[in-house]
Structure 1
């Protein structure tokens, strides 16, 4: 579904991604784990068109997308939930969700998907007329995910969905990621909470200082002593 081949990405003179290659197969949850500053968010921004690679290729559903504008990439079926939520704080929950569907012309389908989002996130239904800036961090994360779902993505890019959330809310968010995947959306998950990410993923990549250093099934990485020491708190 998604093939990233040897991409190099720079911020000015600083190289943030160094020859990164990875693949996401339709129906999977693939997680990318690594320390702060390793290049995880840079990769997602590059996939969604916010950054352009200096070299290398990105293919999605067999088509090259690395030169496309972000709005064109959204229309191909890729939605990006950025780190830090980025909801429109002076708009209501419902208005944020409607904005997520801005590329769509099927009014009936949009209504159905709004109902689906409210089923996934009952809290958003309760708060639908509330300004999103007044929501808690967990509710804002739900809204950011709901807004992305409204674009009807085939591939969902999630950047640090558990960041800053209480453990109970983290568990809830990860349950919902699994549900979204079961409903037919492929997921590429960037996450510092490696334990949680590996517990729901099919496969995983470890990125260190802009390079993919390790890849394998989630079970293989969970069992690796090296990964346990570096990312799983030595468990």
Structure 2
């Protein structure tokens, strides 16, 4: 299988504080992988380093065979690697449909943007219903739908989602997770950070446990541990 993303020895941090200590992971074409682990252990830092939002201090990120380590975010998005930001980063005074149309700004995204707009509205019917509303008037779940919709409008070859259901009600979490599963079923490669490991196992072929800025364990879906073992990974041997 063709390797789409290959990360080797990746190190990154903030100012003089190192966070990532030599991350190695990969993703094949058409594959979805999941990241999980305790908060504050480097998952978001890893995604930012891959997306160009944070410059690595060492290591290599290769996307479809090309070295994109430290490239500008705009160049990385233009290549097809797109991270959906949290919904609270949207331009609040822009309308929903206006925001989606603007997201298809780069050259490769302009081709077929109207078809993708229809696909996004079919995936998230609420966005079609609220197409003339300003983004700031949407609920938290709706803003997250809009953020993912914008990422899809970029025509991604790899879509990255960082805890897309964080802070949402159980009902909205269910809606978003079903939409993410549908994106995966359509063959869009995914990297998803979530704390619900069962959801990640249903979605992904492999999971990576991130602890203390390192990959502590890789789990294949075929030989995944049971719920008790997963809890022990998070909380230690005394977990129940």
Deviation at 1:229, TM superposition (A): 2.7
Deviation at 1:133, TM superposition (A): 0.6
Deviation string, structure 1 residues 22-81 (Cα, Å, up to 9, x no partner)? 001111110000111011111111111011111100000011001210000001001101
Q: Tell whether the 8 Å contact from 2:184 to 2:203 is kept in structure 1 after alignment.
A: no
Match of 2:21 in 1: 18
Please state whether the residue corresponding to 1:148 is helix, strand or coil.
Answer: helix
Aligned: 1:176 with 2:186: no
Deviation string, structure 1 residues 99-148 (Cα, Å, up to 9, x no partner)? 21011367561111111100101100000000011101111111000000
Match of 1:45 in 2: 48
Aligned: 1:9 with 2:18: no
Match of 2:80 in 1: 77
Deviation at 1:230, TM superposition (A): 3.8
Deviation at 1:84, TM superposition (A): 5.0
175 and 64 in structure 1: CA distance in 2 versus 1, 3 angstrom threshold: same
More displaced, 108-117 or 126-135?
Answer: 108-117
For structure 1, which runs of at least 5 residues remain unmatched after alignment?
none
Q: Tell whether the 8 Å contact from 2:109 to 2:155 is kept in structure 1 after alignment.
A: no
Distance 1:221 1:177 in 2: 21
Match of 1:149 in 2: 152
Distance 1:170 1:222 in 2: 24
Please state whether the residue corresponding to 1:196 is helix, strand or coil.
Answer: helix
Match of 1:29 in 2: 32
Report the TM-score when normalising by structure 1. Answer: 0.93
1:87-98 paired onto structure 2 within 5 Å = 87-98=90-101
Instruction: State how many pairs are aligned.
Output: 235
Report the TM-score when normalising by structure 2. Answer: 0.92
